Amino acid sequence: MARKLLVSSAILVPIAACGGGGSSGGTISGLSGPQQVTIIDSSDGSNSTVKLPGRVRGVVGSDYNTDPVHMWVRDDSMETLDTVNMILNSLSQTHYADRTNLGAYRCLVANEERGSGGGERGQAGSDYEEWYVESTRANNTAPQIVKFWVMQDETMGQNVESIIYGLLTVRAEPSDSQPLGDFTLNFKNLPTAEAPTSTNTTFRGYLRTVARNDSQTELEFYMWNGDVDGTVPTGEFHMRERVHVIGNPADETGRAYSEYKYVANAVPNMGSFTDAGEYQMQFNADYVALRDVDDVLDVKDRNNFDTYVFRYGVYDAITEARVQQLAGFPIEDQNGTYGWAGFHGIWFPEEVTVTNGMTVLRRSFASNTTTPYTVVVVPGRLEKRTRAQITLGDLINEEFEMFDPNLGNEIRVVYTGQDFERTATRSGSSWLPENTPVSISGGFTTGQWIYLWSASRGGVEFSWPASILNSTPAYVSSHTTITADSTELANGDLTLHGYFHMLKSNITSNEANFANSESPYLPDASGVSSGNQTYVFDKATMMLTLGGNDVNFGTGVMVTQGPGVNGLNCGPLFATALTNLSEAGSQTTTFEWNIGTNEWNQLRTVKDGDGNYVTFDPPTRFTYTHDESTSPYHNRSFYLEWDGSHLGGIPYTESSQDNRWYPGFNIPTGTTLTSGNGSYLVKQLEGEQVMVSVGSPSTVYAAQGFDLDNPISAPTTDPFVDPNIGAKPAITAAPLYVGGVLQSDG
């Protein structure tokens, strides 16, 4: 819990001790430090850059051929490095080596929290952090000096804006003989109100390589706030994380010490707790021995691990060039705060309130001039949905959420291959699990339209069959937001016909909160002319109406409980009236109306100076059937979506052991995906390996000659040096990189 609260975005994207040189203006070449540090690699070195295997190696020099692959090893004993690895990985998105001696610049660094969740389609788009960076090097024998300032919306789990001040000094890049290179990183976090020279830090720390005269590599890390060994005052949170590693890269042997300790005393949003772990480790090429503070021994096999891929690249199958998407562009408000406008909507830091009609600016990189755009915010959003077919058999053992009209509540369900079973029921913002799964099949009638949702699949729909079979058709959809410029509104308002899952207009407080057995939904139609509703989407207001009234919450209605907290949807809606309810399943194009107070429930976009809506590229959709005989997903079909940086649609499951989310399967490098008439290649780019514990740790420990009674020392605070980099630069230019991608005026 506590280790996720240190900064507002603990990006768990380890890329294990790798980094490459960059070039800059002039004759001075930039140096790159590591993008990630780990205590222990897998025995085959697969956490460092991996080349494509010969059978899938393609066009020499292509993006597909040259984009590096990074795998990292993760274990509870290694989690102490999460925060500093967030900084190192995020720094890599700024391309500081490429900007050597080119002046200070600004970036929007993507916060995706891979490894702690993910796989979802990201209906609200990415979150970003604003970074200011200045990278210099005096000459080609001098160290690389990287100053950076990171704007934080919250700190230590509290709603306090702050700045991370960091100073990275790279003296040598990572190499085969010295996988970490030679570098020092000092950092501190201060509330925004504090002067840059203040010592009133929220946390501070260092990460450094230690010079040696032998073939060993040595690393020290220490980060702290307050005194975790003393009395923690009421309302305060103290923490300490530290690591010390000494190893021989040549024979893959070494020792390590790792500790974390977090103490909270009646802290708002955190409460009171103590969480601690301390480990001594010794490793060779085949095994890792760990002993914790309670003298519990664990031995892990460096040749036996589970691999989870968190990031892929997608490439044209012929040219092997990366598939690019015009996902959006950076914008700024009148106060100069930067955000992002794109296919999924508008993003700004939390302190910026996005309102209808507000002016935002897009800044030219070439001339530093600005172009105004007008924000459009509507308290609902109509989406055109283009369906593709799968079967119920593709959904076996996946967990979905749905609204159960019989309970009048939201539930979680699993399709077992023979039955639909309820596994949990929503209670406020929490889920109450069933002790034993409960069949829900008896609550639905043949032909009733069913809508399921999961983070990986998005919406899944089907018509309830007379007999549940794995071959029963089900449907998933790609979504396109409707605006006044959409072709569907070329002739004015759009009439839509509803038969299932139909929202009322002017929804009352009881209906919105599912209180007193009331619901915001009308009963499903019993026929095409019995209980059906005719909706009209108003081109002028961009609102769906029923009987001339907006399909929305009534004036002053607040949603405080139930499914409406996350928004409500209405549909499927049809542009042409059905002649029979059974036709619903054969309609490839439908519409869905969403309402709610969340960004993803609303239309949030921009118009240009001529009053035209800006069009952004939708994600590219691919068909994929997983082929892995030992996987529970074998022969199941999926529709994956590529937004230019993230491949979504892979199911994720939450581990009961560490409460982290892991992908249900990996797509092999070299897999071909299709979209329309195009073919594309997939390549694994980043992943995590979890070593498997041996069955008899004491036996292996003795056989390997391990000796944990000769411990390595714990690091101290002495090496820390205040970054002392001063106030963040005053920059008016647009962010140069967004999510690691170089921006342009195009």
Q: pLDDT, tens digit, for every residue of 498-556?
A: 999 999 999 999 999 988 889 999 999 999 999 999 999 999 999 999 999 999 999 99
State the pairing for strand pair 473-481/399-404. Answer: unpaired
Residue 19 is encoded by which pair of tokens? 């980094």
Name the one residue in this structure whose structure tokens are 């998407």: 325
Contact partners, residue 487, CB within 8 Å, separation at least 6: none
Below-50 pLDDT ranges, the chain:
1-25, 43-58, 112-125, 746
pLDDT of residue 41: 61
Q: pLDDT, tens digit, for every residue of 255-311?
A: 999 999 999 999 887 789 998 889 999 999 899 999 988 889 999 998 888 889 988
d(CA 522, CA 534): 12
**Strands in 284-351 per DSSP E:** 287-292, 297-316, 328-332, 338-342, 345-347
List 404's β-bridge partners, or say none: 409
Contact partners, residue 456, CB within 8 Å, separation at least 6: 119, 120, 121, 398, 648, 649, 650, 651, 652, 664
pLDDT of residue 78: 64
pLDDT of residue 55: 35
List 257's β-bridge partners, or say none: 244, 280
Closest by Cα among 645, 734, 605 to 130: 734
pTM for the complete prediction?
0.66
Q: At 717, is the secondary structure helix, strand, or coil? A: coil
Q: At 629, is the secondary structure helix, strand, or coil? A: coil
pLDDT of residue 321: 92
pLDDT of residue 626: 92
pLDDT of residue 257: 92
Task: List the domain boundaries for the chain.
Answer: 2-315+696-742, 316-324+618-682, 328-379, 490-591
List 654's β-bridge partners, or say none: 661
